[in-house]
Structure 1
Amino acid sequence: MASSLPEVALGGPQSNCTFHFLSRLDRYKTEKPYFFSGVLDKNQEARRSNLEYEIHNDITVVDLRGQEKLLSLGGHGFELLQHKPVVDLSAPSEEEMNKYLEDLAATVKDHLKVEAVLAYSFRFRREQSSRDNRDTESPIGTYSNQDTPILVPHTDQTREGGLRRARRHMNEQEIEKYLDGNWRIRIVNCWRPICGTADERPLAMCDFYSIDENDLQPADRASREYVGEIYYAHYNPMQKWYWISDQSPEEVLLFKNFDSKPRGEVPFMLHSAFVNSANLNQVQRRESLEAALIVISKD
């Protein structure tokens, strides 16, 4: 059952932080927000996106370090899991990444005591520098062409889009078995730093019960192969934000992006990287790895 994050966070240290929220534009009443991630001709580049953001500074983010054992995926929408990578995540090969994902899925399956866990994607992120050598021929989000931290509060799925996403990454046998309405399907992300602690551009979670439904704006994330749907967040001063400081490479932040049958549990989490005013002079830039998992359990 759901429980109160403010009670968990009572007395926790606070930081004043910066987020980029989706603007509340009249055009979004008639034109759905979207972003296209594929290759476009130069004369089409202006049509890549209609997203517009507004920057909000001095947002309070409460540190839950010391209270992390009180968190649960169901009650709060996120929790911290101890997990030592089975491979070296500095410049891993494709084979090593497959091994990492298999082990991570098995660990989460055992931890949550579920029927099956399917790992379907991963993304490396790094705070970029002009001196970085990036292999732009490699897919974005791979180790050789890392993506950047996203300062925009969002979810990776909507209530309507989650099952479509799960179907896209299942084989025919899995679709026939697990998408017949008798199973609970969750999409859970597993986020970790891979080089030192994650105090520069760390990840924050928004208390689900502090979100007004009008704060959520469905938006299309499109490519030539697939159109996914996510929520972007509009700013609301009632939103309550939390993070866990000093997260190590052997700690994985599990957080929910979709739940087909939440039944009183938190169904998804708004999340975002943020600029932490307490760490503006941090020397080591953030490097992180995030994996997306389909978690399947009996209804």
Structure 2
Amino acid sequence: MSTVLAAPPAHPDAQALPFAAPSVEAELNYLAPGTVRPVNYTFEPPAGIPWSSGTLDPRRVTIHNARPLAQNGGISLDKQGFQHVAHASALHDFSDEAQIRDVYLPEAEALLRTITGAAKVVIFDHTLRDSARGSRANAALREPVRRVHNDQTFVSGPRRVRDHLDADEAAQRLQRRFAIINLWRPLNEVEQLPLALCDARSIAPDDLVPTDLVYRDKTGETYSFLANARHRWFYFPRLRADEVLLLKIYDSREEGTARFTAHTAFDDPHTPDDAAPRRSIELRALVFWD
């Protein structure tokens, strides 16, 4: 993947503390070792069954301010598995599902083509989140996820191609490189529950725990993560609505590139008491190269 956009401009508050702090110490929720294969539900599960299984293993970690590194061109999808891009949306009212479909999704598709040089982009879902009003019981408005995870696995990534393309095209596309990318945008300046992103190069195979994601009509698969002192975490303080994050959540190329990363919302110790709720939209897209 090659980035063709200019480096993002510096945030206007870049010299203000605590914004300029080189790192923060915060707690992230990993999965405890020895846990039986976890299961997460996307809808209210049957009585007596928890929304999410698996014992959490909270760990205090250092999360580095990624803005200086990104400003110098040191962060990319293919190295760390995530990337920051300056991009203002033409859509301002994200409460209108029709406008999201007609304005935002085509705009996001064009942005992904530009950044990756892909021949084809297929957006297959999107999710609105709100830390004050969202809940896991509301499919239209979810809450931020506070577990370290990745949205796809080496099993579910190729399955997505078969789910969203006809059989003949899927068979052809699976012979060539493709990726799945999460495009994450805040809808207001992020004052609480920012997104922590793990450098893909610091993740070991033994850290991955396949996890069932249960829909009403099927069961998908994501990764939960075991703690590893080698994990190197980053975040972008005070991310604005005219900035987006791209997260590599699957790549079929096996050598020379980040294949996925890990991410989670976290409680920033610099969050003011009167911080606005975090509102965001994310979408997941298949990206194909010829």
Show the counterpart of 2:179. 186
Q: List runs of 5+ in structure 1 lacking aligned partners.
A: 2-10
Show the counterpart of 2:222. 230
Distance 1:22 1:90 in 2: 33
Give % identity.
25
Show the counterpart of 1:296. 288
Which of residues 88, 92, 104 is equivalent to 1:88?
92
1:1-299 map, 5 Å? 13-25=22-34, 27-28=35-36, 32-42=37-47, 45-46=48-49, 49-57=52-60, 59-69=61-71, 70=73, 71-128=75-132, 132=133, 140=139, 142=140, 146-172=141-167, 174-179=169-174, 181=175, 183-195=176-188, 197-298=189-290
Whether the aligned pair in 1 keeps the contact of 2:191 and 2:275 (CA below 8 Å) is no
Deviations 1:167-194 (A, max 9, x none): 2122345424423x1x211000001110
Distance 2:173 2:118 in 1: 13
> Runs of 4+ in structure 1 displaced over 6 angstroms?
none
Deviations 1:64-87 (A, max 9, x none): 113214111112211112222122
The 3 A distance-change label for structure 1 pair 66 and 99 is same
- Aligned length, in residue pairs: 270
Q: SS in structure 1 opposite 2:270?
A: helix
Whether the aligned pair in 1 keeps the contact of 2:184 and 2:246 (CA below 8 Å) is yes
Residue 123 of structure 1: how far off its partner (Å):
0.7
What root-mean-square deviation, in Å, do the aligned CA atoms of Structure 1 and Structure 2 show?
2.4
Distance 1:158 1:185 in 2: 14
Q: List runs of 5+ in structure 2 lacking aligned partners.
A: 2-19
Whether the aligned pair in 2 keeps the contact of 1:35 and 1:51 (CA below 8 Å) is no
Q: Normalising by structure 2, what TM-score?
A: 0.85
The 3 A distance-change label for structure 1 pair 48 and 12 is closer
Whether the aligned pair in 2 keeps the contact of 1:102 and 1:119 (CA below 8 Å) is no
